[in-house]
Structure 1
Amino acid sequence: MSESDTPVAEIRDLRVEIDGRAIVDGVNLRVLPGRVTALVGASGSGKTTTGLALLGEYPPAARVTGDVRVSGNVGYVPQHPAAVLNPARRVSALLTDIARTQVRDLPRAQRKSAARERVLRALSDAQLPDAEPLLRRHPHQLSGGQQQRVVLAQALLLGARVIVADEPTTGQDALTKSRIVDELAAVAARGIAVVLLSHDLDVVRTLADDVLVMKAGRVVESGPAERLWLAPRHEWTRQLLDARPPIPQEQSAEDTTEPVLRIRDLTARHGRSAVLRTPGLTVHPGECLAVVGRSGSGKTTLARCLAGLHRDHDGEIDLDGTRLPRSLRHRDRAQLRAVQYVFQDARAAFDEFRPVLDQVARTAVRLRGIDPRTAGEEALTTLTGLGLTSGLARRRPPQLSGGELQRAALARALLAHPRVLICDEITSGLDTVTRRGILDVLEGLLRDRDDLSLVLITHDLDTARLAHRIAVLDAGELVEQGPADRILTAPEDPFTVSLMETTARMESRTPLL
């Protein structure tokens, strides 16, 4: 057996039970050096539990049987990178601590410069070449995409023989996603095994050598990637591959109604640095505005300004012609109800010790003043309407999948009866079937509620097709805005043109043979 045929990690007949329920059942996995092995499936299918088994990590109180063997270090890039980055330490300190362990054998006078060189190289390999400003920041001052690439740099610094990448392109724009794909391919080309856990079938199709399709904790189909794409055998695999993005809505004539939200001369800062400049932007009743751009372009900062979560800004934000206070602390109950925010990281937005149903109902009690029993009934109706059963609704957040928690977060915001619903990358990291379900829900809300407007923060142009209008951000500047069909088919700004062309290339790339 050649070295390339010897697995660097292997899982045999893995079964993980929680309270007698199997969340992974009979999984087998061989991870070979220099190859990309992808695990795909819906939220809750067992992908992350299987990937974490390679690190020897399991859910609390889990009963584990089977055999897991690993040769060498395993690096991990999680779906929610903020959870593994110390918020009190700057990026330079986080990475330098790792680099110092690798230069201990050098003369003392050379260690500092050698460690810094390794840090800069790792950041460049993780698609963060302009590292100097970033090194001085704390994790909360980075975009979700930047946080994810810092964690990737940590994994590369560790010199791991296996990298488990859990949704590494989640929240990334098409340009950054393409660079991450190229980097992971380069990692595999250096002989490092990559275990890719992903809902993004374009990324899997481009990168993977081997694919395991999971459903309800079991592997329902596996094999070489090229065979699986061309001739899937299991019905669930065909369902994943056949899921299609929503059809773009027909665009109406220019809206002449008064906007529900109006933004004028908005300049937002992190410390002394201006990170966003938006001269003018409006959102009309019943309209969906998609804000797109690469990671770090200012999309989330804009959303947080609208929601009162980022108060370090100048300019005007009006709701129905009335100025909104910069901070949510100074907004009254009606204003808090009117603008609701659904976070990208749904898990971090819930108290892990309280049942989901109670947390969803609490919104109606606090912001609408209704009694707890009525709020609970309305919360359960809303949750079941979004696809969560009564049993799931009564569980605590750690017992739900990422897709289930995202639906719960959406339900919690809807319990406020908002005028404007801000959705920050809420389809990121969801499988194609679940993502389509969420988009169908949003489309139905727009259709059924004339008084509701949506602001979609997204890197995914398929998600942006839901919108009536699109605003494009690049490096903190609003470079283009207009009707969605025009932006998607005939963009005018060079950056928007590049974004559309890169997306088209990603969708058309063929499997690596």
Structure 2
Amino acid sequence: MTALHNLLDVDALRVESASGSLLGPVTFTLQAGRALTLLGESGSGKSLLAQAIMGTLPRGLRAHGRIALAGRTFDANDSKARRASWGHEIALLPQEPWVALDPTMRVGTQLAETHALVGRKAGADAWSHTLDELRTLGIGHTARAWPITLSGGMAQRAAFAITRAGGAPVLIVDEPTKGLDHASRDEIVARLRQALEAGCTVLTITHDIAVARALDGDVAIMLAGQIVERGEANAVLTQPSHAYTRALIAADPESWTTHAVSHPGEMVLQATHLRKRFGPRELFRNLDLTLHAGERVAVTGPSGSGKSTLGNILLGLLAADDGAVHRHATIDRVRYQKIYQEPTSAFAPRRAISHALTDLCKRHRLDQARIAPLMQQMRLPPPLLARLPNEVSGGELQRFALLRALLLDPVFLFADEPTSRLDPITQKEVIDTMVNMTRERGCALMLVTHDPYIAGSVAMRRVMLEA
């Protein structure tokens, strides 16, 4: 391609609520064959920007400005006019893969249907493309699986394939590599680069600085609803001019130091000779594990290797095929807690976040005054309590999930990719909070992570699961 042409123009885009401005004004152009990557803290407005462009803002929010797409110009608040472009001209991969997947349809059927109805492929051709894409993404075995049976990483790759199936030239991908091991992350990045080489444009929202570097193109840094720095990726990421950009890059896990080793206390959990199969696949066998108070263990391995399954067995949420789990006889089972990989699965979708916390306090006779200090520690502003789970960012919702678990004074916390939705600064703050908790409260921490730098910084020892 000898000359770049505009595929999407965003002009003075703003988003407001009844209480005031949340985003903008933001102006930028996306050109064919060139990437724009948005970096910034959770809640800074990155996902809100994507929703405003698509016309899928939550209730109570209003967009202003103009959006030009496929030769047509739209009022930013006229979402209905843009719906005919969905899938064909512009496609969005949402932050939570469970939002993109229909729980009542098998994975392969959903992807084939998108190829047929949006990509206009014949039935046999649509199914052939479906099998090829799932195999290429390393999840060929999920063609006839239900979404609920997938790991977070598998669901993310399946959702990505569905987003690309319509062949839309404008792609907006919100955290496309969260919850993925480095090999799977690199595969998604390679797919995005292929789309760029084919003449698409890609607006990527991510917390992973490595993804921004790999996609090249331009980088924009968002803070409090504003773009505070923008330029070519290499220039911004190697010589940032804004103080926040410098702090963001400095907080990348690759730069973390190792947390101090704690002295383990009494045993809180012991597993012996665990074995678990998933259909024809054996995830692990003869697995022995003992956890003591104050101990920190990292569980690593590729997506789908059984990391979440292991945690669910230790918590008693899932039965092992063989082996046994012994928990401390005098400790209440409610003090064995989990931070879910997908925070949306941990909250009732139609109840305000405040209810999730106050109901917990009432149920277990906890002091509700403990909520405010924890919210301040995790940088969660009080107005968020009135919102529904889908009306806050994924990072904010994950911090609420951690807060709720801490209210129960856990002796064992299974944290399943707890910071995959957080920007580097907030990620480090949350991880530091969890580590301090294990040290001060004598809580055993089992952390699932795909990031070897996080594992190296946090863990006193590791459990490695193979594919």
Settle same-fold status: TM greater than 0.5: yes
1:453 is the counterpart of 2:444: yes
Aligned pair 1:262/2:262, yes or no?
A: no
Q: Classify the secondary structure of the residue corresponding to 2:458.
A: coil
1:297-332 Cα offsets, whole Å, 9 max, x none, are 11111112222322364321111269xxxxxxxxxx
SS of 1:462's partner is: helix
* CA distances 1:61-88 after superposition (whole Å, capped 9, x unpaired): 2221101122252222222101221112
From 280, 289, 314, give the equivalent of 1:306.
314
CA RMSD of aligned residues (A): 2.3
2:131 equivalent in structure 1 = 120
Measure, in 2, the Cα distance between the counterparts of 1:178 and 1:187. Answer: 14
Q: Distance in 1 between matches of 2:287 and 2:329?
A: 17
Alignment of 1:84-163 (within 5 A): 84-101=100-117, 111-125=122-136, 127-128=137-138, 131=140, 133-163=141-171
Offset of residue 296 of structure 1 = 0.7
Report the Cα offset of residue 400 of structure 1. 3.1
The 5-angstrom pairing of residues 52-63 of structure 1 reads: 52-63=51-62
Structure 1 counterpart of 2:400, which letter? A
Contact 2:58-2:391 at 8 Å conserved across structures: no
Residues 11 and 104 (structure 1), Cα distance of their counterparts in 2 relative to 1, 3 Å cut: closer
Counterpart of 2:411, as a letter, is R
Q: Secondary structure of 2:6's partner? A: coil
The separation in 2 between residues aligned to 1:104 and 1:84, in whole angstroms, is 20
Verify: 1:187 aligned to 2:178, yes or no: no
- Equivalent position SS for 2:356: helix
Taking a change above 3 Å as real, the CA distance of residues 213 and 348 of structure 1, as seen in their structure-2 partners, is: same
Q: 1:346 aligns to what?
A: 343
AA aligned opposite 1:415: L
Using the size of structure 1 for normalisation, the TM-score is: 0.81
Kindly provide the amino acid, as one letter, of the partner of residue 47 in structure 2.
T
Distance in 2, Cα, partners of 1:156 & 1:248 = 40
Name the structure 2 match of 1:80. 96
Match for residue 5 of structure 1?
Answer: 4
Partner-residue secondary structure (3-state), 1:54: helix
Is 1:380 matched with 2:372?
yes
Aligned to 1:8, what secondary structure does the other structure show? strand
2: distance between equivalents of 1:18 and 1:236?
A: 26
Deviation at 1:146, TM superposition (A): 0.8
CA distance in 1, matches of 2:110, 2:297: 37
Q: 1:137 to 1:201 in 2, by over 3 A?
A: same
CA distance in 2, matches of 1:314, 1:365: 37
Would the aligned equivalents of 1:270 and 1:312 in 2 still touch at CA under 8 Å?
A: no
Preserved contact between residue 89 and residue 169 of structure 2 (Cα < 8 Å): yes
Q: Which whole-Å CA distance do the structure 2 matches of 1:392 and 1:102 have between them? A: 37
Gap change, CA 1:57 and 1:400, over 3 Å in 2: closer
* Aligned-partner SS, 1:447: helix
TM-score, scaled relative to structure 2: 0.89
* Matched residue, 1:49: 48
Cα distance change, pair 201–344 in 1 and its aligned pair in 2 (3 A): same
The alignment status of 1:432 with 2:424, answered yes or no, reads yes
For 1:32 and 1:94, locate their aligned partners in 2 and report how far apart those are by CA, in whole Å.
Answer: 30
Kindly provide the amino acid, as one letter, of the partner of residue 54 in structure 1.
I
Q: CA separation in 1, counterparts of 2:118 and 2:282?
A: 36
| Letter of the 1:436 counterpart | K
Corresponding residue of 2:299: 291
Identity among equivalent positions (%) equals: 33
- 1:363 and 2:360 correspond: yes
SS in 2 for 1:191: coil
- How does 1:31-50 map onto structure 2 within 5 Å? 31-50=30-49
SS of residue paired to 2:413 = strand
